[in-house]
Chain A
């Protein structure tokens, strides 16, 4: 039993954290968002570092690491709220690697990793980076399939740090199905990004409430504020425990992946919303302004929640899993 990152995984996290802190401070995120564009220099650097292929085998030019390493990177991506197509590209590559056919791997992986092909992920109504994508991984509750260059139209969401699309008439049965576990991997990966969003929202809030003084004292000394922060930590750590569990299960214990992913998705959907909304509240009036950067986190958290398909379906899946456990024990 070792529920912690390895030395190598910590190293990856440290490198990603440093790079994104220096290349993608909120000023850059804001610039990209206001220009309605991705941060292209940053994306080129990320591609050069091989991040899109982190969970792809070396045979196709990837780094040959796994879902945990991917989760670590995505957590840092969320922490920085960086304006890049890393989530869609790296996750599409990872699920094609693990759930695709040889032909699909040969067709897509090298190009995605090299940044020459683009990928979208999502459901029909909301596809991250779906507009004009060469390939889209469509989640259909517990299954996922690949669509080549589907017709789409761009959609403006509340999150201007990323691009979204709606597919034009991709009906059921379109595309090629991916193997079991693809949907779970995607849910788990989005959840990992949300953990990073939560961590950042919590840290920004702590800095603010330690610094901001009213009634002659830091507002963080009021229990109404400090207990809110404690609740933010509880949500964040719940999302973290389940996101790591899902990432670990994806490679090490695929039979548990569906349930682990539902845990991660449900925890992240709730945590992202609660923690980022709390960050706005704890910042007071300033938190409601365009200048204070907490709104980027809230917007991304809400849209990630939608990408996860909302929270209801995951609660329902978890209820079924809990009942199935009891039934299994009873018949044993």
Chain B
């Protein structure tokens, strides 16, 4: 057991720190979503120029072939620096690795570099109005004809679709097959009339997510990923990649939010109250548990090739803690935390999505119960 970084890991971290120190993303644009997005895209380009956009990618595809620990360090340092998450996060974390696993040489050649440089943004077309947690029941149809595939259906919760060139689309290619078997994974061009993007307005007032209305969109044969009828397996690769490095970024952001709350509360002498101190102590504990458990998970993957039982818990723990933290802020800081435009008002509302996006807490508990604890399938 050694909870310190090795010399090479420290060197990697220091190199990153000095890079972040010399590359200021500039002030975060407020009140204009498009400007905010452009800010994130521009900063990803800066990262990509110096080879930092996807440290976990193999060197041959423009990454650094980083170890899992180095990748975790990257996300920790990104979080610490206050720089924004890469605009093409879904391309870097999901589409890229999935294409590396399943893509033809031509597909790798075509798609990977523009992901890295944020020239082509990606979105994820998995969820549908009637296929959320039960993803395999999705209904979007892909019909084969002489010119390739004709797509009809609807997708929802599509983050960043309004900025995306490509969509990781899972559609049903065989209506007769069993529900997991008739699916195919496509790389769909978003720039066509038959794909309409409609922003969903969230409880925060902003629009990170969209609905996709797909009415006769075309996808050529060479944009099938991993073979016709193999979509479920390919989609699982994407889903497995979903939470890996992100846990470290989220964990650091939670710590920063907690630090910010402490600063504001201390300035107003609000932490002397024993009840407030008790809740603060609990939040500090949970933030530390998240960090420690994330590192345990990392070691498990590095040593045994798969996460231990703790690996399934981090997203659930993070969402719960972030929600408790923002509610604590509202209690501690008083009505001022709820006024329009307050950072805390935004965080309080945004946190409600944490236990839904990327797998609801209820589904995560089912997964823990069935796959980690070996309990019978839930009823």
Residues of chain A whose beta carbon lies under 8 Å from any beta carbon of chain B: 1-6, 9, 68, 206, 209-210, 217-218, 220-223, 226-227, 229-231, 233-234, 237-238, 240-242, 244-245, 248-249, 252-253, 263, 266-267, 312, 314-323, 325-327, 329-330
A316 near B281: Cβ-Cβ < 8 Å: yes
Bound state CA distance, A201 and B372, in angstroms? Answer: 16
Bound state CA distance, A3 and B266, in angstroms? Answer: 34
Judge if B47 is at the interface, Cβ distance under 8 Å: no
Also in contact, A326 and B266, with CB within 8 A (given A3-B3, A222-B379, A226-B375): yes
Bound state CA distance, A266 and B181, in angstroms? Answer: 48
User: Which of B129-137, B297-305, B341-349 lies at the interface with chain A?
Assistant: B297-305
B285 near A267: Cβ-Cβ < 8 Å: yes
CB neighbors of A among B274-308 (8 A): 274, 277-278, 280-286, 288-289, 292-293, 295-296, 298-300, 303
Judge if B368 is at the interface, Cβ distance under 8 Å: yes
Bound state CA distance, A266 and B303, in angstroms? Answer: 29
Judge if B259 is at the interface, Cβ distance under 8 Å: yes
User: Which of B28-36, B113-121, B161-169, B309-317 lies at the interface with chain A?
Assistant: B309-317
A237 near B309: Cβ-Cβ < 8 Å: yes
A248 near B1: Cβ-Cβ < 8 Å: yes
Bound state CA distance, A274 and B281, in angstroms? Answer: 18
Q: Measured between C-beta atoms, what is the minimum distance from B328 to chain A in Å?
A: 12
Bound state CA distance, A220 and B369, in angstroms? Answer: 9
Also in contact, A245 and B3, with CB within 8 A (given A4-B303, A226-B375, A318-B285): yes
Inter-chain contacts of B296 with A (CB < 8 A): 3-4, 241, 244
A227 near B369: Cβ-Cβ < 8 Å: yes
B259 near A1: Cβ-Cβ < 8 Å: no
B262 near A322: Cβ-Cβ < 8 Å: yes
Bound state CA distance, A132 and B284, in angstroms? Answer: 40
CB neighbors of A among B230-267 (8 A): 258-259, 262-263, 266
Q: Measured between C-beta atoms, what is the minimum distance from B8 to chain A in Å?
A: 11
The 5 A-B pairs at the shortest CB distance, nearest first, are namely: A315-B281, A226-B369, A318-B281, A322-B284, A319-B281
B3 near A317: Cβ-Cβ < 8 Å: no
Judge if B18 is at the interface, Cβ distance under 8 Å: no
Q: What 1/0 flags go to B344-379 for Cβ under 8 Å of A?
A: 000000000000000000101110111011111111
Inter-chain contacts of A314 with B (CB < 8 A): 281
A1 near B310: Cβ-Cβ < 8 Å: no
Judge if B2 is at the interface, Cβ distance under 8 Å: yes
6 of the cross-chain contacts (CB-CB < 8 Å) are: A5-B1, A221-B376, A230-B365, A238-B293, A314-B281, A316-B281
Inter-chain contacts of B364 with A (CB < 8 A): 230
Q: Measured between C-beta atoms, what is the minimum distance from A109 to chain B in Å?
A: 25
Q: Measured between C-beta atoms, what is the minimum distance from B111 to chain A in Å?
A: 32
Total interface residues on B, using CB and 8 Å?
Answer: 54
| Nearest CB in chain A to that of B368: its residue | A230
Inter-chain contacts of A253 with B (CB < 8 A): 3-4
| Nearest CB in chain A to that of B258: its residue | A322
Inter-chain contacts of A226 with B (CB < 8 A): 365-366, 369-370, 373, 375, 378
Judge if B9 is at the interface, Cβ distance under 8 Å: yes
Q: What 1/0 flags go to B1-18 for Cβ under 8 Å of A?
A: 111111001000000000
Q: Measured between C-beta atoms, what is the minimum distance from A25 to chain B in Å?
A: 23
| Nearest CB in chain B to that of A245: its residue | B292
B313 near A234: Cβ-Cβ < 8 Å: yes
B262 near A326: Cβ-Cβ < 8 Å: yes
Also in contact, A233 and B4, with CB within 8 A (given A227-B365, A316-B277): no
Q: What 1/0 flags go to B129-148 for Cβ under 8 Å of A?
A: 00000000000000000000
B375 near A221: Cβ-Cβ < 8 Å: yes
Also in contact, A233 and B376, with CB within 8 A (given A318-B285, A319-B277): no
A242 near B295: Cβ-Cβ < 8 Å: no
7 new A-B contacts, CB < 8 A, other than A233-B313, A234-B313, A241-B292, are: A206-B374, A217-B379, A237-B313, A252-B4, A263-B285, A316-B277, A323-B271
Judge if B107 is at the interface, Cβ distance under 8 Å: no
B288 near A1: Cβ-Cβ < 8 Å: no
Q: Measured between C-beta atoms, what is the minimum distance from B368 to chain A in Å?
A: 4
Question: Among the listed B274, B281, B366, B373, which residue makes an inter-chain contact with A266, where contact means beta carbons less than 8 Å apart?
Answer: B281
Inter-chain contacts of B274 with A (CB < 8 A): 316
Q: Measured between C-beta atoms, what is the minimum distance from B356 to chain A in Å?
A: 16
Judge if B196 is at the interface, Cβ distance under 8 Å: no
A323 near B376: Cβ-Cβ < 8 Å: no
Inter-chain contacts of B374 with A (CB < 8 A): 206, 210
Q: Measured between C-beta atoms, what is the minimum distance from A326 to chain B in Å?
A: 5
Also in contact, A221 and B284, with CB within 8 A (given A6-B1, A326-B263): no
Also in contact, A237 and B310, with CB within 8 A (given A217-B379, A263-B288, A316-B274): yes
B285 near A3: Cβ-Cβ < 8 Å: no
A2 near B376: Cβ-Cβ < 8 Å: no
A4 near B375: Cβ-Cβ < 8 Å: no
Q: Measured between C-beta atoms, what is the minimum distance from B370 to chain A in Å?
A: 8
Judge if B204 is at the interface, Cβ distance under 8 Å: no
Q: Measured between C-beta atoms, what is the minimum distance from A232 to chain B in Å?
A: 9
Inter-chain contacts of A209 with B (CB < 8 A): 375
Q: Measured between C-beta atoms, what is the minimum distance from B11 to chain A in Å?
A: 14
| Nearest CB in chain B to that of A215: its residue | B379
Inter-chain contacts of B259 with A (CB < 8 A): 325-326, 329
Bound state CA distance, A316 and B274, in angstroms? Answer: 8
Bound state CA distance, A249 and B1, in angstroms? Answer: 10
B292 near A233: Cβ-Cβ < 8 Å: no
| Nearest CB in chain A to that of B274: its residue | A316
| Nearest CB in chain B to that of A256: its residue | B3
A2 near B284: Cβ-Cβ < 8 Å: no
Inter-chain contacts of A330 with B (CB < 8 A): 263
A218 near B313: Cβ-Cβ < 8 Å: no
